[in-house]
Structure 1
Amino acid sequence: MDFLVQKALDGDHRSIARLISLVENESPFASQIMAHLYAYTGKAHIIGVTGSPGAGKSTLLDKLISSFKGMGKKIGVIAVDPTSPFSGGAILGDRLRMQDHALDTDVFIRSMGTRGSLGGLSRAAYEAAMILDACGKDVIFIETVGVGQSEVDIVKIADTVCLLLVPGMGDDVQVMKAGIMEIADIFVINKADRDGADRLAAEVNIMLDLYGKKAWRPPVIKTIAETGEGIDELSKALLDHRQYLSKSDEGKKRFYSRIKMEVEEILKREIAKVVEERWKECCNDELISALCAKRIDPYTVAGRILGDIFSRG
C-alpha cells in the first residue's frame, strides 16, 4: 500500500486512479490512505461547476481545461454523475465531452456516482479531490450532477463555485430561489448567443444588488462554451477569486469550516457503520413481528440500539 501511495504522490495516474477506487469502494485501507495523504493537501484550487442539466457544464469544462493547461497548470476533474441503480457506478460518462484531454499526462479525469447523495455529491467525491490535491494537481474541477436547488453541497468542498445559467431554460426563475444565489462565487451565463442572455445577466445583477455590498461581488460572465467565447474572462475571474480567498478573512473562514466538516463527516460515517452492524445483529423475525403488530415502535427499538452502543463505549 505504501508503494502505491508513493507512486500516486509521484504523479502516476494509474496509481491515483487505484487510490480513488479504494476510497470510493470503502476499502479497509481507505482511512489509512487518506490519513497518509492529508499532510500533502491544501495546495490545489478546488473549483465547483454546477448548474441545471443541459447548461453545458462539460463543454465549458473542456475549454477551461485547455485554458489552465496553457498556464502550465496540472489539472484534475471529478465529474459527478447520477449513480446506476444496478452497478452503483456513474452512468452519464461526462468524460466523453472531454476526450481531447483523456490521454494528457497533466490532466486526470474521473467520473464518479452520487451514491444516493441528495446534494449531488458523495463523500468519495470530496476524498477524490483531496487525493488529486495531494498528488500534485494545481486545479481541481468538480462538475456536479445538476439537480438544482439541492446542489448546495458543492459550497462545502469547493474554494470557488461557478453557477451556470442558460437563457430560456427557466434559469431566470431558478436563480431567484433560496440557496442558489448564496452558493455562487461566479455566475456564468452560458450559451450567451441565445435570446434573453442580456436580460438574464441583468436579473442576476439586480439580485446581487439586493443582497447588498460584500467584499467579493460575484461577477456575471457571458460565455459560449462551444466556441470558447468568454473563457479567458472566466479563467481570469477564477484566478481573481483564488487570490481574494488567499488574502481575506472569508478564505480563512471557509478553510476552517471545511476542516470542521471533514471531521464531522468522518464521525458520521464511522458511527453509521457501527449502528448498521448492530442493527443487523438485532434484526430478527421476532422483532419485525413485534413492530408489525405494534407491540413496540421503531423509535424505542432505535433508542435501545443506540443506548446499547454508547453504553458499550
Structure 2
Amino acid sequence: MGGPTDDGGDTKATATDAPSLANRHAELVEELLAGSHRALARVITLIEDRSTGYRAIVSALHEHTGGADVIGVTGSPGAGKSTLVDKLAAAYRDRGDTVGVVAVDPSSPYTGGAVLGDRIRMGSNVGDMDVFFRSMSARGQLGGLSMATADAVKALDAFGKDVVIIETVGAGQNEVDVVRTADTVAVLVQPGSGDDIQTLKAGILEIGDVFVVNKADMDGAERTLAELEEMVHRRESPTKGLDTGHHGFDAPDPPDHGEHDGSEGAGAGADEGAGADESAGASEAAEEAAAWTPEVRRTVANTGEGVEGLIETFDAHARHLRESGEIEATQRRRYAEEIRTLVRSDVGALATAEIDRRGGIDALADAVRRRETDPYSVAAAIVDPIADCVEPSDG
C-alpha cells in the first residue's frame, strides 16, 4: 500500500522508501562533506522537493551533525527579521565563523514556492562563499516551518557551518514550531507594537530564549523594552511581588527564637527548621543557577547597533545549554517530535494510498451519504490492514 508521501511538494518518494543511498546520491553526500557548495545546494534542492532518495541522503548526513549552533529568529512581519539576520551573518563572519541561513518565506498561492522577498533584504553578504543563503517555502506548514527546513538545517550542519540561522514567517502562536529545530530562539518585537505584546502574552512568550526590540531608535522603544522586561519577570516568577509569604497567603510571622534562651525544644526545632530551610534554599539556588532567564536586547538592524551584544547573548545561551546538560534534553525533545511527525506522515501516506485503491475519497463519501456505510466503518476498513501489520500476532 505504498504511495506518495504528503510532504507538500511534487514528490516521487514513497512512504516505504528504505534509507539506502543510490550511487549518485552517495557521491553527492561525499562531495557535500568534502566542502562542495554546489553539492550542498543540490542536496537542499532534493530535500525541499522531497525527491526520490532524499531520506537516504538525510540519514547519511545525520551522523555528521551536531556541530552547529542553530538559532531561530522569529517575530511578526515588519519587525525587521531579514535585515537583522543579514547583519548577524556579517558579524559572525567578522569573527571567523561560517554561516548558513534558511529563510522560510510565505508560500506563493500560485506555485507553492517561496516569494523570495528575504533575498532582497540580505545583501551584505553577497559574494561571500562562507555565507550560504537559502530561501524556502513554508508550504503551508503551521509556524512557517516544514520538515524540509529541519532537513536543510541538518545538511548545513553536516557541511560544517558553525552557525545556522533560521528566519521564520511571523504566524502568531504557531511560531512555536521553530523550537523543534533551533537551539536558541530569538523573538523580535518592534517598538509600539501593542498587538505584538498581546500576542506574546497569548503564548509566544514561552518559546523565546532572547527577546529583541528591533528598530530601537523609533519612538516607543523604551516602553516596549519595559513591557518585555516585565513579561519575562512574570514568566520567571509569576508570584514575585505578591505578599504571599513563604508558605502562601497570610503566612504568620516566624517566632522570635531569641526570646527563649534556655528552651531545648525550641532550640532543636529551630536547628531542624533552619537545616530544612537551608537545604531547600540550596536546592532552589541550584535550580536557579541551572535555569536560563530570557534576556531582552535592543538592536537597530539598519545600522548594526546592538548586533554584537545580541551575538554575545546567543553565545551565553549556547554555553548554558552545554554546561547545564540541557542540550541533551532539548535534542531528545526535538528528535522525539521529528519521529512522531515522520511516522504520522508515513502512516497518512499509506492511508491515502488505500483510500485511492478503494475508489477515492469522493466515492467513499458518497457511499456514506447514501447510508450504505458510515465514516467509522470506512476508517476502520482503511486503518485495520495497517494495524494488522504492526500489531504482534498471538502466536
Q: Same fold (TM over 0.5)?
A: yes
Match of residue 143, structure 1, among 156, 161, 167: 167
Q: How far did 1:158 drift?
A: 0.4
Q: Say which SS state the counterpart of residue 119 (structure 1) adopts.
A: helix
- 1:67 paired residue number: 91
Q: Say which SS state the counterpart of residue 89 (structure 1) adopts.
A: coil
- 1:303 paired residue number: 380
- 2:316 paired residue number: 240
- List gaps (5 residues or longer) in structure 1: none
Q: How far did 1:83 drift?
A: 1.2
- 1:3 paired residue number: 27
Match of residue 130, structure 1, among 126, 129, 154: 154
Q: How far did 1:30 drift?
A: 1.1
Alpha-carbon distance in structure 1 between the residues aligned to 2:110 and 2:225: 41
Alpha-carbon distance in structure 1 between the residues aligned to 2:94 and 2:86: 13
- 1:31 paired residue number: 55
Residue 172 (str. 1) matches residue 197 (str. 2): yes
Residues 241-250 or 130-139, more deviating: 241-250
Residue 158 (str. 1) matches residue 234 (str. 2): no
- 1:206 paired residue number: 230
- 2:145 paired residue number: 121
Residues 234-243 or 202-211, more deviating: 202-211
- 2:341 paired residue number: 265
Q: Is the 8 A contact 2:179 2:185 kept in 1?
A: yes
Residues 184-193 or 208-217, more deviating: 208-217
Residues 8-17 or 127-136, more deviating: 8-17
- 2:213 paired residue number: 189
**Alignment TM-score, normalising by the size of structure 2:** 0.76
Q: Is the 8 A contact 2:90 2:124 kept in 1?
A: no
Q: Say which SS state the counterpart of residue 193 (structure 1) adopts.
A: coil
Q: 1:199 to 1:187 in 2, by over 3 A?
A: same
Alpha-carbon distance in structure 2 between the residues aligned to 1:191 and 1:280: 52
Alpha-carbon distance in structure 2 between the residues aligned to 1:290 and 1:279: 13
- 1:280 paired residue number: 356
Question: What amino acid sits opposite 1:157 in the alignment?
Answer: T
Alpha-carbon distance in structure 2 between the residues aligned to 1:266 and 1:255: 16
Q: 1:106 to 1:42 in 2, by over 3 A?
A: same
Alpha-carbon distance in structure 2 between the residues aligned to 1:293 and 1:32: 45
Q: Output one character per residue of 1:176-216: Cα deviation in whole Å (capped at 9) or x when no partner.
A: 21x21110000000011112111111111112221235521
Alpha-carbon distance in structure 1 between the residues aligned to 2:180 and 2:79: 22
**Alignment TM-score, normalising by the size of structure 1:** 0.95
Q: 1:93 to 1:15 in 2, by over 3 A?
A: farther
Alpha-carbon distance in structure 2 between the residues aligned to 1:294 and 1:229: 67
Q: Say which SS state the counterpart of residue 63 (structure 1) adopts.
A: helix
Question: What amino acid sits opposite 1:250 in the alignment?
Answer: E
Match of residue 222, structure 1, among 298, 311, 324: 298
Residues 140-149 or 79-88, more deviating: 79-88
Match of residue 128, structure 2, among 93, 104, 121: 104
Alpha-carbon distance in structure 1 between the residues aligned to 2:179 and 2:140: 18
Q: CA RMSD of the aligned region, Å?
A: 1.6
- 2:254 paired residue number: none
Question: What amino acid sits opposite 1:165 in the alignment?
Answer: V
Q: Say which SS state the counterpart of residue 175 (structure 1) adopts.
A: helix
Match of residue 252, structure 1, among 310, 313, 328: 328
Alpha-carbon distance in structure 2 between the residues aligned to 1:150 and 1:7: 36
- List gaps (5 residues or longer) in structure 2: 1-24, 238-287, 391-395
Residues 229-238 or 254-263, more deviating: 254-263
Q: How far did 1:129 drift?
A: 0.3
Identity %: 45
Q: Is the 8 A contact 1:162 1:186 kept in 2?
A: yes
Q: Output one character per residue of 1:46-81: Cα deviation in whole Å (capped at 9) or x when no partner.
A: 000000000000000111001100111110000001
Q: How far did 1:312 drift?
A: 4.3
Q: Is the 8 A contact 1:102 1:109 kept in 2?
A: no
Alpha-carbon distance in structure 1 between the residues aligned to 2:51 and 2:221: 47
Alpha-carbon distance in structure 2 between the residues aligned to 1:310 and 1:258: 26
Alpha-carbon distance in structure 2 between the residues aligned to 1:270 and 1:95: 33
Q: Output one character per residue of 1:212-250: Cα deviation in whole Å (capped at 9) or x when no partner.
A: 355211111011111111111101111111111111132
The aligned length equals 312
